[in-house]
Amino acid sequence: MRYMVKKFNQNQVERLLDLVPYLTSNQGVALEKIASDFHTDKSTVIDDLNTLWMCGLPGYTPLELIDLSFDTGYVTIRNAEVLSQPRKLSNMEIATIIIGLHILKESIQSVNSHFLSISNLLTRLASTSAVPIPESVYSTINPEIKSVCSKAVTEKCDLSIIYHSYAKDEETKRKIFPFGFVVIDGQEYVESFCHESSGIRMFRMDRIKSAEVIGSTHFVRGESDNADVSRNFQFKVRSESRKVSETFHIVIPSDYSPESLFDATAYNDEWIIRAICSLDTAATLTSPLDLRSQIAERAKKALALYE
């Protein structure tokens, strides 16, 4: 059985947090009035109330959950006061918070306005629990580079970076315009427009060797910036289906045929070539034909080294 997890945007989360005290102070308020006060529509309010209905404290019985009534078009709220009661965290929960705060602290510079606040909070949490502050939580992201990138995002500036390309195993100098940061599979990336590539690129933060702000820009992100930045390719799986699946991030059914074609996408031709070569005979590229030719040439050169 597959369960769908609903995702909330930032505006909805803020609205849900404001709804509880609002409803507590305005028992019996009309749905239309809520929509007007929160600058939204009635259907959105109903969706928010259905979500709020499932909120409460751990235990999740009627004793801990918020109770709402809005079938008549007028909203009343009960049992919301349980959320105002202080909740004692377990040592495991405190340890999780301390580790997270310590990682955050090590990712910023001491001159950052939040550095002292995080340090004070760590001290308070450690002093009121049996959980010590770790001496160090290893992070591969250079805090100075992260600070420079953050500044460029905030001030809308171009960056000059030295980047280590894992696919090509080389360092290159790039001029980029960063939009913001994203986390994918536990790794942090800066999403940017790369002037050299004339397209949107994702640069892994721990592979940026240096970064320098080189001035403001009037660059505006458009819909066409995302066009043609990826390369589609097809391949057959001959063996080691699990390894192939993990390499290309696709699902390969257990009853696959050696003649079955699978589709995947990558942002770098060199990465595709190296990935197929590294899989030996476990996967065979079928298209595009120009990459097949390059793989064949790469294999000939490799074999020539053993002659």
The answer to whether residue 303 scores a pLDDT higher than 60 is yes
**What confidence tens digit (pLDDT) does each residue in 260-270 have?**
899 888 767 77
> Which among 127-131, 202-206, 303-307 has the top mean pLDDT?
202-206
Does 209 lie in the same domain as 166? yes
Q: CATH number of the domain that 173 lies in?
A: 2.30.30
pLDDT value of position 162: 92
132 occurs within a structural domain: no
**Pairing outcome for strands 283-287 and 67-69:** unpaired
Q: In what order do the strands lie in the sheet with 283-287?
A: 261-266, 231-237, 283-287
Strand partners, 231: 266
| Residue 58 burial (10 A CB sphere; 0-12, 13-18, 19+) | exposed
4 occurs within a structural domain: no
Does 294 lie in the same domain as 255? yes
The answer to whether residue 1 scores a pLDDT higher than 50 is no
**What confidence tens digit (pLDDT) does each residue in 29-60 have?**
899 999 888 888 888 888 888 887 777 666 66
Rounded CA separation 207/161 (Å) = 10
133 occurs within a structural domain: no
Expressed as residue numbers, the domain containing 171 is 143-226
Does 167 lie in the same domain as 216? yes
Does 235 lie in the same domain as 222? no
Does 238 lie in the same domain as 271? yes
Rounded CA separation 260/252 (Å) = 10
22 occurs within a structural domain: yes
**Domain boundary pick from 226, 255, 278:** 226
Does 170 lie in the same domain as 122? no
134 occurs within a structural domain: no
pLDDT value of position 224: 43
Cβ atoms of 73 and 34 closer than 8 Å:
no
Q: How confident is the model at residue 228 (pLDDT cuts 50, 70, 90)?
A: very low
Question: Against a cut of 0.85, is the pTM above it?
Answer: no
Q: CATH number of the domain that 38 lies in?
A: 1.10.10.10
Nearest-5° Cα angle at 243, 163 to 265: 55
**Domain boundary pick from 176, 193, 226:** 226
Does 161 lie in the same domain as 194? yes
The answer to whether residue 258 scores a pLDDT higher than 80 is yes
Work out the average pLDDT over 165-178.
83
Does 68 lie in the same domain as 99? no
pLDDT value of position 219: 60
Rounded CA separation 27/76 (Å) = 5
Does 109 lie in the same domain as 177? no
Does 41 lie in the same domain as 74? yes
168 secondary structure, DSSP code = T
Q: Which residues contact 242 (CB under 8 A, 6 or more apart)?
A: 252
160 occurs within a structural domain: yes
- More confident position, 111 or 94: 94
Q: How confident is the model at residue 160 (pLDDT cuts 50, 70, 90)?
A: very high
Cβ atoms of 66 and 55 closer than 8 Å:
yes
Does 69 lie in the same domain as 16? yes
136 occurs within a structural domain: no
Number of domains into which the chain is organized: 4
Cβ atoms of 60 and 79 closer than 8 Å:
no
137 occurs within a structural domain: no
